Structure 1
Amino acid sequence: MFDQDTKPELARVLSYLSYNLDTFILQSFLYYCIQMNKKILIITRNLPPLVGGMERLNWHIADELSKQNQVSIISHTAAKKLASQNVNFYGVPLSPLPLFLILSFIRAFWICLTQPVDTLFAGSGLTAPIVVILAKIFRKQSVVYIHGLDIGTNNKIYNLCWVPLIRHADQIIANSSPTYELCLKKNIAQSKLSIIHPGVTYPPKPRNENLLQNIKTKYQLHDKKILISVGRLTERKGMNEFIDQCFSRVVNTLPNTVLIIIGDTPNQSLNKNLQSKELILSTAEKHNLTDRIIFTGNIQDDDVLASFYYLADLHVFPVKHIPHDPEGFGMVAIEAAAHGTPTVAFATGGIIDAVKSNYSGFLIKPNNYNQFTDTIINVLQTQNISAQDCQQYAAQFSWQSLNQKLEQAMK
């Protein structure tokens, strides 16, 4: 096919192409490794042992990103004991808030000055100014994860000082489609926006039958229909209104029903619209329901929390529609679904992303307490949502999926 004169030249061309192809592959691989090994500095006030969805989310963001990147965290000192072993932790006092912000800025400035940093990541809108300002000074990438209250608040100081700086971040990640829409309304550029839902541990912890039986015995749950509520006791969560307008009718129809409330009033929350245990119990006493309500407080043990999810017939999520205090997502609905437990919730805020109606639960028009009650009774009587459907829906929200989406957003 080739004559004797062209063969040596062809060999040189093939050798050249082979060398350059190998070089290209090697360079591409090294570039990929560099991209997957970024130096990321996360600044957040929301980490355990503070309790809540934002706290769990930020813990998992740090943990997942640290699997392929070099991650450092600036947060409150108490969080160090629970921080992932793969991260470098820098602690500052939790309170007062101005001191936390000032010291976090100083810490972050020093780290950017003395260490290689590729990306500054704000775990919420609260620390966005620190991230955006330092990213501009040191010419780094800035990423802000936005929750509903970060952008939906009507606080004048926050809207005047914080929101303009959030707009200048390189990437803004919304935790739900309603949060995304709120960002657009606050004139955040659509080109910077993406949606990454919070995650859930999937598959969940397996059933521990001995623990389940111990909990049943301790709280006298044998032969009971079990409703659970998981989360902080704030005005937005609407637990007091649920007991006042729904729970008495549920008990009148199904007398063996109990409500287990997992959570407490958050002492360090910046949102001061809280509901106390005492307020909820006084409402329950008015309806003669105090013996049907069990308060467990916050549960830190994942095995125990998983057992309550498995025991429950239904997770109730009666979040109120408050425009200036929106529910960003509703991770507990996904956590319940991961354990095969459906949710009944009002269709407000990011909950519309966390519950697939008629599949992983039911979404009710906000403030329609009669329909909310009827739906609970119907589910308890018929069990018309399968555990398998709930778990299939939850699977798409695994922490591993969150990791992949975060990596993509920070390219």
Structure 2
Amino acid sequence: MHDGSDPRRVALLVTRNFPPLLGGMEKVNQHLLAALQPVWRTALCGPSGCAGYAPSQTEVIESRVKPLPIFLAATLWRAVRLAWRCKPEWVIAGSGLTAPIAWLAAKCVGGRAIVYLHGLDIVAPSRAYQRLWLPFIRRCDLVLVNSANTARLATGRGVAAGKLRVLHPGTDLPTLDAAAASDFRQRHGFAQRPLLLSVGRLTERKGLVEFVAKALPAIVARYPNALLTVIGDEASDALHARAGSERERILAAARIAGVEQNLHFLGRCDEATLGAAYQAADMHIFPVRDLPGDVEGFGMVALESAAHGLPTVAFAVGGVPDAVHDGQTGILVEPGNYVALGEAVIWQLAQTRESATIAACREFAAGVTSRSNSAPASHPIPG
């Protein structure tokens, strides 16, 4: 419970996308809540287990995430009750999914509603969602978007341009540790092999099946010892995951292309191992696909990669250009051009990872993060 003597005004975050669930949206909402707390009293309606990841002194109410209709109904009831109790000035929907809940909870207590859009939650290919959810997104008093591309998608769906604010996700800027990077390679038997790193949940949109089939063979022809190391699990909690195992589809593509020995899965890793992997790798690859009705809103892992001094080679899809500074923190390639993508990886592998490159990557990440961290206290929630 909040201390009644605390004079700060209240901000309530309502979201399904929060740890312990995994993904970029979950990290964004966690960082957003933490950035609010120095100025605002905070409350959270989120998924089961989220209390362990929320900032201290945050009032938390949890709901189980599956089935989705039960989560939405339970969260609506609990968010309205919590709003009556703590009288938030702002109610924030962590994605378009909870925009109707945030709007209703805010209006019940005379507050104002914000929604943070990530891309897919504005173009989701569902008639029910487009008919029932989008009107509430448009009614929100303020609409935050994670990239310029998401802003374009939002205006295309009728969101007033005057309500839009671009708020790039930020990331932590870690202390680099060469010993941890060396230990990572030694522990996994990677020695000095050219190391490509892919980080994220295994989904169709991430494009690893096509990368392995259409780009990796050319890379291996030039660098026979090259190794693609994949960190991430199946997207079992994702709302739009396709049936079957994405990992098996990637493996099947590697067998057909004759590059199975150049592929290594690490599964889900803790933060320390992930940080060591970023530092040990030669580059991060992000071959996101441009799929109808699906979109990469920002590309959080590309920013995390830059924060560790690691450049990214990626398709210029969705919001990825906001997360990769072409020619400075990596290389952006025309979407779907796997020949050019393979050539970009080969070129990048030929470069030494110099201190200037590391510094440029980290400077870019720090700039994005500083703008993101200052925004919650100023632009998204005006004082």
Residue number among 146, 153, 159 corresponding to 2:124 in the alignment? 153
Taking the aligned partners of 2:271 and 2:175, their CA distance within structure 1 comes to: 8
Query: Which residue in the other structure is 2:371 paired with?
Result: 401
Taking the aligned partners of 1:296 and 1:273, their CA distance within structure 2 comes to: 21
With the length of structure 1 as denominator, give the TM-score of the two structures. Answer: 0.88
Q: Deviations over 1:107-155 (max 9, x none)?
A: 1111122223111010000000001122223210111000100112221
* Amino acid corresponding to residue 34 of structure 2 in structure 1: D
The alignment of Structure 1 onto Structure 2 pairs a total of residues equal to 373
Query: Which residue in the other structure is 1:19 paired with?
Result: none
Instruction: Output aligned runs, 1:265-344, within 5 Å.
Output: 265-273=234-242, 276-299=246-269, 301-344=270-313
Contact 1:62 1:84 in 2 (8 A): yes
Query: Which residue in the other structure is 2:14 paired with?
Result: 43
Larger Rg: 1
Residue number among 92, 115, 119 corresponding to 2:90 in the alignment? 119
| CA apart distance, 1:281 | 0.9
Query: Which residue in the other structure is 1:369 paired with?
Result: 338
Contact 1:205 1:306 in 2 (8 A): no
Taking the aligned partners of 2:250 and 2:57, their CA distance within structure 1 comes to: 41
Taking the aligned partners of 1:255 and 1:179, their CA distance within structure 2 comes to: 39
| CA apart distance, 1:82 | 2.4
Residue number among 131, 142, 163 corresponding to 1:171 in the alignment? 142
Taking the aligned partners of 1:255 and 1:86, their CA distance within structure 2 comes to: 53
List runs of 5+ in structure 1 lacking aligned partners. 1-32
Instruction: Output aligned runs, 1:140-219, within 5 Å.
Output: 140-202=111-173, 204-207=174-177, 209=179, 211-219=180-188
Taking the aligned partners of 2:337 and 2:199, their CA distance within structure 1 comes to: 21
| CA apart distance, 1:48 | 1.4
Q: Per the alignment, in what secondary structure is the counterpart of residue 19 of structure 2?
A: coil
Taking the aligned partners of 1:38 and 1:96, their CA distance within structure 2 comes to: 33
Contact 1:67 1:86 in 2 (8 A): no
Query: Which residue in the other structure is 2:3 paired with?
Result: none
| CA apart distance, 1:277 | 1.0
Between the two proteins, what is the percent identity of the paired residues? 35
Query: Which residue in the other structure is 2:319 paired with?
Result: 350
The answer as to 2:29 corresponding to 1:58 is yes
| CA apart distance, 1:208 | 5.5
With the length of structure 2 as denominator, give the TM-score of the two structures. Answer: 0.94
Contact 1:205 1:303 in 2 (8 A): no
Q: Per the alignment, in what secondary structure is the counterpart of residue 329 of structure 1?
A: coil
Instruction: Output aligned runs, 1:3-22, within 5 Å.
Output: none
The answer as to 2:104 corresponding to 1:136 is no
Q: Select between 269-278 and 348-357 the one with higher mean Cα deviation.
A: 269-278
* Amino acid corresponding to residue 367 of structure 1 in structure 2: G
Contact 2:9 2:41 in 1 (8 A): yes
* Amino acid corresponding to residue 201 of structure 2 in structure 1: R
* Amino acid corresponding to residue 170 of structure 1 in structure 2: D
* Amino acid corresponding to residue 318 of structure 2 in structure 1: G
| CA apart distance, 1:188 | 0.6
Taking the aligned partners of 2:322 and 2:109, their CA distance within structure 1 comes to: 37
* Amino acid corresponding to residue 207 of structure 1 in structure 2: D
| CA apart distance, 1:304 | 1.3
Taking the aligned partners of 1:51 and 1:318, their CA distance within structure 2 comes to: 20
Contact 2:88 2:106 in 1 (8 A): no
| CA apart distance, 1:314 | 0.6
Taking structure 1 as reference, are residues 344 and 106 closer, same or farther at Cα in structure 2, changes over 3 Å only? same
Q: Per the alignment, in what secondary structure is the counterpart of residue 313 of structure 2?
A: strand
Q: Deviations over 1:256-296 (max 9, x none)?
A: 21111010111111012365211111111122322221111
